[in-house]
């Protein structure tokens, strides 16, 4: 593929503003849509929210009022894009249904990125993280059957399996052990930079979602499970954001953000099965091409550098939502017992990890274990979706 966003012109910024009628998108049909269409919508919402938040941080660190106004202009369009994208979600879904879709995104997006990541240290970071969101999916799916009396397979549609990953109780690490080493901006493959931004943004969206929606349930076990997993998403954001080289200048970071938006809209436009959603991806790609040009001009002006020096000569292979069952099973077989120590990984529980575990659990079972006991009391079994056979780890098979 030879799509080079630097050589394409998009829609001029002063023609990107949409009126209410244009913003009033038709939501997807939850019963008939491809689950991966919903995953693409969720991913792009996370990306647009990051675009907005990043631009706000940049504006707060910008003295020149003319540049502040330029950032505000583009940011308002990002805010309209976020509305158009997230309003594709149907109003019927419960918080827990959206949660299950978020964890499905985390599993299949992170697994795909892990498969494609060229740098071994970064690849390990994604392999490590995916086994945790995989376990969250399983805990929430059991909660869903308990309190909403429905089954998660109606959401994940057998594209993603539901069974134990690295047990959630072991995700609570001392915060210092969540900080990884960054890639080196001048040596890293441009694809690695896009991967890190993408996963950081979607994990950040999950963290924000649990922060705000967690207390909307009345059932004590639901409220407690959202607190527990909400704190793990804080760890995940720390883990993934620390992969990004903090030596990139603000303007270089802005260019990377806009380039990543082009990459993802282009990828999703290529694979989208719903024609109305595809039209949104295409429109937004044409907007992002112009955002990228504006960001490149700012980088040239304020850093005195050519953006082409830090970007790929053409877009990498499209990022794809597809089942990753065999890959996740291989990780379940080989990486269940990993934890982190400093910026690396170990198989042995160490002192700092044990201390955190002792303090946070306070001698009791965490909500992620209690949800399984309460589910078992009600149904006499667990809720799982194992389309490819038994769990690869004999210790995790249902008794």
Closest CA to 291 of 264, 318, 270, 322: 264
Secondary structure string (H, E, C) spanning 68-85: HHHHHHHHHHHHHHHHHH
Residues from 195 through 234 that contact Fe ion (CB under 5 A): 203, 233
C-beta closer to Fe ion: residue 230 or 323: 230
C-beta closer to Fe ion: residue 31 or 59: 59
Over its C-alpha atoms, the chain yields an Rg (Å, rounded) of 21
Nearest distance from C-beta of residue 122 to Fe ion, angstroms: 16
Nearest distance from C-beta of residue 77 to Fe ion, angstroms: 7
Interacting span for Fe ion (CB under 5 A) from 14-22, 193-201, 280-288, 373-381: 280-288
Spatial separation of the C-alpha atoms in residues 224 and 369, rounded to whole Å = 11
Q: Which helix H or strand E contains 340, and what residues bound it?
A: strand 339-341
Spatial separation of the C-alpha atoms in residues 371 and 209, rounded to whole Å = 20
C-beta closer to Fe ion: residue 192 or 368: 368
Residues from 256 through 275 that contact Fe ion (CB under 5 A): 258, 261
C-beta closer to Fe ion: residue 110 or 192: 110
Residues from 231 through 250 that contact Fe ion (CB under 5 A): 233, 236
Nearest distance from C-beta of residue 73 to Fe ion, angstroms: 12
C-beta closer to Fe ion: residue 133 or 177: 133
Nearest distance from C-beta of residue 113 to Fe ion, angstroms: 13
Do residues 268 and 281 touch, judged by C-beta distance below 8 A? yes
C-beta closer to Fe ion: residue 80 or 192: 80
List, as one string, the DSSP characters of 111-144.
HHHHHH--SHHHHHHHHHHHHHHHHHHHHHHHHH
- CA 188-190-191 angle, to 5 degrees, is 105
- 346 three-state secondary structure: strand
Interacting span for Fe ion (CB under 5 A) from 71-79, 159-167, 240-248, 368-376: 71-79
C-beta closer to Fe ion: residue 89 or 283: 283
Residues from 90 through 149 that contact Fe ion (CB under 5 A): 106, 133, 136
Interacting span for Fe ion (CB under 5 A) from 4-12, 57-65, 253-261, 391-399: 253-261
Contacts of 313 by beta carbon, 8 Å cutoff, 6+ apart: 4
374 binds Fe ion (CB under 5 A): no
C-beta closer to Fe ion: residue 234 or 382: 234
Q: 162 - beta bridge partners?
A: 385
C-beta closer to Fe ion: residue 186 or 336: 336
Spatial separation of the C-alpha atoms in residues 385 and 183, rounded to whole Å = 36
Q: Which of 40, 75, 171, 291 binds Fe ion (CB under 5 A)?
A: 291
Q: Say which DSSP state 397 is in.
A: S
Q: Is the dihedral of CA 145, 147, 149, 150 positive or negative?
A: negative
C-beta closer to Fe ion: residue 32 or 142: 142
Nearest distance from C-beta of residue 288 to Fe ion, angstroms: 5
Q: Which of 70, 75, 78, 374 binds Fe ion (CB under 5 A)?
A: 78
Nearest distance from C-beta of residue 69 to Fe ion, angstroms: 17
- 345 three-state secondary structure: strand
Q: How many residues bind Fe ion (CB under 5 A)?
A: 14
Do residues 110 and 133 touch, judged by C-beta distance below 8 A? yes
Q: 339 - beta bridge partners?
A: 346
Nearest distance from C-beta of residue 132 to Fe ion, angstroms: 6
Interacting span for Fe ion (CB under 5 A) from 47-55, 85-93, 327-335, 377-385: 47-55
Secondary structure string (H, E, C) spanning 24-48: CCCCCCCCCCCHHHHHHHHHHHHHH
- 151 three-state secondary structure: coil
Q: Which of 16, 81, 202, 242 binds Fe ion (CB under 5 A)?
A: 81
Contacts with Fe ion by CB under 5 A lie at 48, 51, 78, 81, 106, 133, 136, 203, 233, 236, 258, 261, 288, 291
């Amino acid at each position: 593929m030879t799509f080079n966003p630097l050589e394409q012109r998009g829609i001029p910024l002063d023609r990107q503003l949409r009126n209410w009628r244009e913003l009033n998108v038709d939501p997807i049909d939850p019963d008939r849509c491809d689950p991966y269409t919903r995953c693409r919508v969720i991913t792009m919402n996370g990306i647009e929210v990051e675009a907005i938040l990043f631009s706000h941080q940049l504006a707060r660190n910008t003295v020149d009022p003319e540049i502040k106004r330029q950032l505000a202009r583009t940011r308002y369009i990002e805010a309209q894009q976020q509305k158009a994208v997230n309003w594709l979600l149907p109003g019927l879904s419960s918080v827990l249904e959206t949660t299950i879709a978020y964890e499905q995104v985390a599993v299949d997006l992170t697994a795909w990125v892990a498969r494609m990541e060229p740098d071994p240290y970064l690849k390990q970071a994604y392999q490590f993280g995916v086994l945790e969101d995989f376990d969250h999916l399983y805990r929430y799916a059991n909660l869903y059957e308990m309190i909403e009396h429905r089954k998660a397979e109606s959401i994940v549609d057998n594209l993603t399996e539901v069974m134990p990953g690295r047990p959630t109780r072991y995700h609570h690490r001392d915060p210092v052990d969540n900080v990884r080493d960054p890639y080196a901006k001048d040596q890293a493959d441009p694809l690695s930079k896009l991967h890190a931004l993408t996963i950081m943004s979607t994990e950040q969206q999950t963290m924000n979602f649990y922060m705000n929606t967690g207390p909307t349930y009345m059932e004590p076990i639901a409220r407690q499970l959202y607190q527990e997993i909400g704190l793990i998403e804080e760890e995940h954001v720390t883990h993934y954001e620390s992969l990004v080289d903090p030596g990139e200048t603000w303007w270089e970071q802005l260019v990377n953000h806009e380039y990543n938006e082009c990459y993802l809209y282009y990828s999703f436009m290529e694979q989208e099965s719903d024609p109305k959603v595809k039209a949104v991806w295409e429109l937004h790609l044409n907007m992002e091409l112009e955002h990228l040009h504006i960001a490149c001009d700012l980088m040239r002006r304020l850093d005195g550098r050519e953006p082409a020096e830090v970007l790929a000569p053409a877009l990498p292979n499209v990022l794809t939502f597809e089942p990753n069952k065999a890959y996740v099973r291989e990780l379940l077989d080989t990486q269940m017992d990993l934890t982190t120590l400093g910026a690396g990984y170990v198989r042995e529980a160490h002192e700092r990890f044990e201390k955190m575990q002792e303090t946070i659990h306070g001698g009791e079972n965490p909500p992620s274990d209690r949800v399984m006991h309460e589910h078992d009391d009600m149904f006499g079994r667990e809720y799982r979706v194992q389309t490819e056979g038994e769990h690869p780890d004999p210790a995790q098979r249902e008794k």
